[in-house]
């Protein structure tokens, strides 16, 4: 067994333990779906916040005070929700990290006989740690790839749903806290009070100023960066507790 490559050993373990495979795949699938949904909302509100800031600056430079108050309110609401979803993301990441560490500790107890066998045969701790990391990375990257492929096929309706959710949220907040400018008949926003104010339809209120919407650019680069970050972070979260446990186990066996 020690002569087998680490990757092959990891793959063989997944093949021979279907319950572990299914349970961990289910965990990662549910976790990354939740993460993806929150990240999508963060990007939605972040992009809108950037464009609304641009609009406010444009209207202020043109001294169009009738419009700027409503857009300032929308900008403030968008930033508040952005902070809210960023906090939710950090909470999810923290819970996921703690859960993964606890899972690793639990798995270590279940697989202690296997670990002992490898260590007694002279296996290095770092090699065995690398095998366990690779086992999880195979599952994590399979789930991430599945979600990316799924998103590539259903991107328009997913983005539309996120945009609709944002629009309804902004409309609800504007109705609850109407700016003074909406009561003035000359306001172009008052004439469109039923409009869903998102970054996709605020452009007509720019009074001749054009905005280059670049929010869809560099998505591929962002996806690559995200995958690299997920892999590095997973290596750290899985590798550190596993290496400590294996080192302690080897110390007891020597």
Q: What is the pLDDT of residue 1?
A: 52
Q: Is the pLDDT of residue 118 over 70?
A: yes
Residue 123 gets which letter from DSSP?
-
Whether 234 and 137 have beta carbons less than 8 Å apart is answered as yes
The predicted-structure confidence for 203-227, as pLDDT tens digits, reads as follows 444 333 333 444 444 567 777 888 9
The predicted-structure confidence for 135-157, as pLDDT tens digits, reads as follows 999 999 999 999 999 988 888 88
As a whole number of Å, the end-to-end CA separation of the chain is: 21
Q: Is the pLDDT of residue 169 over 90?
A: no
DSSP 75-98: HHHHHHHHHHHHHHHHHHHHHHHH
């Amino acid at each position: 067994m020690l002569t087998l490559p680490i990757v092959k050993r990891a793959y063989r373990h997944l093949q021979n333990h279907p319950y572990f495979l299914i349970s961990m795949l289910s965990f990662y699938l549910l976790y990354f779906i939740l993460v993806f949904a929150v990240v999508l909302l963060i990007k939605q509100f972040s992009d809108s916040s950037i464009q609304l800031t641009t609009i406010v600056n444009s209207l202020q430079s043109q001294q169009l005070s009738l419009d700027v108050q409503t857009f300032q309110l929308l900008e403030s609401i968008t930033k508040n929700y952005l902070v809210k979803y960023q906090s939710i993301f950090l909470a999810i990441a923290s819970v996921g990290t703690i859960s993964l560490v606890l899972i690793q500790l639990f798995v270590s107890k279940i697989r202690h006989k296997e670990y002992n066998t490898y260590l007694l045969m002279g296996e290095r701790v770092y090699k065995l740690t690398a095998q366990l990391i690779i086992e999880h990375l195979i599952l994590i990257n399979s789930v991430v790839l599945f979600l990316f492929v799924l998103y590539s096929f259903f991107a328009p309706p997913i983005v539309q749903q996120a945009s609709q959710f944002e629009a309804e949220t902004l409309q609800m907040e504007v109705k609850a806290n109407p700016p003074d400018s909406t009561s003035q008949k000359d306001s172009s926003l008052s004439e469109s009070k039923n409009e869903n104010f998102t970054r996709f339809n605020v452009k007509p209120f720019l009074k001749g100023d054009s905005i280059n919407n670049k929010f869809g650019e560099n998505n591929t680069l962002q996806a690559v960066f995200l995958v690299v970050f997920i892999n590095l972070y997973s290596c750290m979260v899985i590798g550190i507790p596993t290496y400590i446990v294996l080192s302690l186990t080897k110390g007891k066996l020597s």
